[in-house]
A and B are shown apart, each in its own frame.
Chain A
Amino acid sequence: MQYGYAGKILKINLNSGDYSAGSIPKELSDQYLGGRGFVARILYDRLKPGTDPLSEDNLVVVATGPLSGHLLPGSGKTHFGALSPATGGYGDSNLGGHFGPNLKYAGYDCLIIEGAAEKLSTVIIDDDKIRVVEDESLRGKGAIEAEKALKTRLGDDFQIITTGPAGENEVAFACISHDFGRQAGRTGIAAVLGSKNVKAVAVRGTGALPVYDSAGAQKKGEEMYRVCYSKPGFKTWTPYGTASLTDWANEVGAFPTRNFQSSYFEFHHAINGQAIRDHLLVTEKGCFGCPTPCGKYGLAETTVGKAYVEGPEYESIATLGGSCCLESIEEVAYANYVCDQLGLDTISAGVVVSFAFECYEKKVITKEEVGRDISFGSLEDVIYLLEKIAAREGIGEPLSKGVKHAAAVFGGGSEKYAIQVKGLEWSGYECRNAPGMMLSYMTADVGAHHNRSWALGYDISESDADVSALISAGTSGELGVATPEGKVDHVISMQHSRPLFDALGICRLQTQEIGFETEHYEEVFELITGRRVSWEAMIGISERIWHLTRLFNVKHIEGFGREYDYPPRRLTEDPVTTGPNKGRFIKREILDRMLDEYYEKRGWDKNGVPTEETLERWNLNNGQVVDLRW
């Protein structure tokens, strides 16, 4: 028995309908902790080079962490991973809610789904009773609609993840949905579920988790909540959540606007956190164990329709609002709702739709190809394209594979405004005056995603040469030019610390946003698992995982290396068109300088491939695989 863990990994083979469960190998928990670590190691070991992401040979791995499901702040996180159909490389995504804790209470830290079902199916895990149930009645249902139907059928005590029509149709940026508005959004894991004919996974767990020092862990957990409640940031974080970034991102010129042509959206005050409170909010909503509920559940009423929706989060505001130029929070929220029902990642969807708008504006694609006129700022056109993409009809077919693929189909120089890295669409931060954030996007293992490193704060804070002058100018003064110096260390440090939370199975927002000390996690980890592991040692584990996911990409993407780490040419050649950073861009030479330094500090060669010494240091070159045969 390993304290803290439920103890088992469940494998379900959809070809045969068979399932089996085995113990977690100790080397797996020792060297990879759980969550993201389990996902990365299992995928690396078990997927062969040349695997088609949408074939039955791909796997979907769902993993909780050692702290998931225990009574401490933010312990509701679950990690999902697969060979990504968006990038052809390592893919993972994370969600809160209640699914992971229930998976553990059912007895499983990790679920591996292999093969493919013959018909559309739901996987049901009811403690130790496992079933794969064919159910064509759910075909075509929206992700939230399907969850509601299954809750009605199975009972409210089941926690359910679903896919929408986009997942069924294998759209490269289809997302997993849960709890009526939480998503594991990125890298297209739901498309992999769709290729396996899995519409949903429902879990109900009623068991207990083994805890090394139960009384001590409970006492510590209670203390952790008290500490959270006492933090000065507690009261200011919850009312606005991530949407409070909107005005700030505009003031510092980092808000993607008009498909990243600009970094300032003149209607930002109409789509900010205050607008959510004024025009949408019904209630706040948190995940399992959350003391700081950042979810905003609201009602969006537009001329097109009205709907209850969770969000929008900042990222959705940036991509559906700024990048597509929707000018009211109701419109952004409604577009968010359409994405949620169709099962589309709002980040990629917003970038793909705004890319289509720009291609149309620049006459790269025609009215005949699109099927109608389309333009920035039209909610009707956003919805039209989202529905085409989810159905993979007409113009939706090339767009359904993401902007990199669509640009290759469209031609006409459109690759320049396909805003992505490694095939994954860029999330909500325009970077032409933010070299640290640019490097974060370039080197993130899954592609252009912000959650691995958010170095934007360093870019902005260090670009102010004269703080007093800026203050007297208010927030409309001209920004200093951000420099790349010193950014590499910040990026590397964040790429270890932030993903570590995903390996532990906890939310990082309590630490990141309200200043909750990481020492608490060390202590509670010891009380729960009986193992004393320092935060520094855990950071080391996170670094091992980082090298492993890079190796994964080397293994699965032919010719993978430095060329895969560059942003599109728009960001290195075209100046920002309006706003505080008007005229700015970062030359490719500067990116090369940062990449050289980054690779050297990582222990990778000049092509970005981990060296033998690095692999040896992290015990990644022994040719061994974690034994999951049982």
Chain B
Amino acid sequence: MVKGREELQAGSEFIVTVNLVGCLRDLYPHLAEQEVIELDRPVKVAEMIARLGISSRMVLFATVEERLVPKEALIDRSCEVNLISPPAGG
């Protein structure tokens, strides 16, 4: 679940809701379908993927608020991010 702003820990600036799509759930069973990350500074999508312990190679697309973004895109506000794996073989 997405935490409300009032629940943010001291020092955190914004929260990012990350949805894992496709085979990422199978590959990383310790992660939930929806993960919430608290950030205290802007980060690149790639860094956020690393923070979750996901191999960058298994993220085919990333979207921020439903818009395709490169992995170098900066996340600097509360938003919803989708990480989409390659199709698992058709």
Contact = CB atoms under 8 A, between A and B. Distances in A.
Interface of A: 231-233, 235-237, 241-242, 244-245, 248-249, 251-252, 313-315, 429, 450-451, 454, 456-458, 460-462, 464, 467-468, 470-471, 474-475, 479, 509, 512-515
A464 B90 contact: no
A456 B66 contact: no
A457 B23 contact: yes
Nearest to B81: A232
Nearest to B53: A467
B56 A457 contact: no
Given A461-B55, A461-B57, A233 B86 contact: no
Interface string B39-80: 000000011011001111110110100101001000000001
B57 A252 contact: yes
A591 to B, nearest CB: 20
A471 B87 contact: no
Counting from the closest, the 7 A-B pairs by CB-CB distance are: A454-B89, A233-B21, A242-B90, A232-B19, A461-B55, A471-B46, A248-B86
Nearest to B86: A248
B86 A244 contact: yes
Contact of B27 (A235, A461, A467, A515): A461
Contacts of A314: 87, 90
Contacts of A475: 56-57
B21 A514 contact: yes
A457 B49 contact: no
Contacts of A513: 21-22, 87-88
A404 to B, nearest CB: 23
A464 B57 CA distance: 8
Taking chain A's interface residues, is the majority helix, strand, or loop, or is none over half, making it mixed?
Answer: helix
Given A232-B21, A515-B33, A245 B49 contact: no
Nearest to A580: B57
B37 interface: no
Given A232-B82, A235-B66, A512-B22, A451 B89 contact: yes
Taking chain B's interface residues, is the majority helix, strand, or loop, or is none over half, making it mixed?
Answer: mixed
Interface of B: 19-23, 25-28, 33, 46-47, 49-50, 53-58, 60-61, 63, 66, 68, 71, 80, 82, 84-90
B86 to A, nearest CB: 4
28 contacts: A232-B80, A233-B22, A233-B82, A233-B84, A236-B63, A236-B68, A236-B82, A236-B84, A237-B84, A237-B87, A244-B86, A313-B90, A454-B23, A454-B89, A457-B85, A457-B86, A460-B55, A461-B57, A462-B55, A464-B57, A467-B53, A467-B54, A470-B55, A470-B56, A471-B49, A471-B71, A514-B21, A515-B25
B60 A244 contact: yes
A451 B87 CA distance: 12
Contacts of B54: 461, 467
Contacts of B19: 232-233
A467 B21 contact: no
Contacts of A458: 27
A251 B57 contact: yes
B23 A512 contact: yes
B88 A512 contact: yes
Contacts of B86: 244-245, 248-249, 457
Contact of B90 (A232, A235, A245, A462): A245
A479 B56 CA distance: 11
B42 to A, nearest CB: 16
A450 B50 contact: no
Contacts of A512: 22-23, 87-88
A468 B88 contact: no
Contacts of B47: 471
B88 A467 contact: no
A319 B66 CA distance: 32
Contacts of B88: 454, 457, 512-513
A116 B18 CA distance: 57
Given A451-B89, A515-B33, 18 more contacts: A235-B66, A236-B21, A244-B87, A245-B87, A429-B89, A456-B89, A457-B23, A460-B55, A461-B28, A461-B55, A464-B56, A467-B56, A468-B50, A470-B57, A471-B47, A479-B57, A509-B87, A512-B22
A231 B26 CA distance: 16
A202 to B, nearest CB: 28
Contact of A514 (B22, B57, B71): B22
A514 B47 CA distance: 24
A488 to B, nearest CB: 16
A460 B85 CA distance: 12
Contacts of A236: 21, 61, 63, 68, 82, 84
A393 B19 CA distance: 54
Contact of A461 (B46, B58, B71, B84): B58
A46 B26 CA distance: 38
Nearest to B71: A471
A487 to B, nearest CB: 13
A479 B20 CA distance: 23
Contacts of B80: 232
Contacts of A232: 19, 21, 80, 82
B55 A450 contact: no
A233 B55 CA distance: 19
Contacts of A244: 60-61, 86-87
Contacts of A241: 87
Contacts of A235: 66
Contacts of A249: 86
Contacts of A509: 87
Nearest to A512: B88
A471 B80 CA distance: 21
A464 B26 CA distance: 17
Nearest to B34: A232
Contacts of B63: 236
A249 B60 CA distance: 10
A315 B90 contact: yes
Contacts of A245: 60, 86-87, 89-90
- From A232, A236, A451, A479, name the one whose CB has the most chain B CB atoms within 10 angstroms: A232
A75 B3 CA distance: 37
A250 to B, nearest CB: 11
B6 to A, nearest CB: 25
Contacts of B89: 245, 429, 450-451, 454, 456
- From A244, A245, A249, A461, name the one whose CB has the most chain B CB atoms within 10 angstroms: A461
Contacts of B20: 515
A513 B47 CA distance: 24
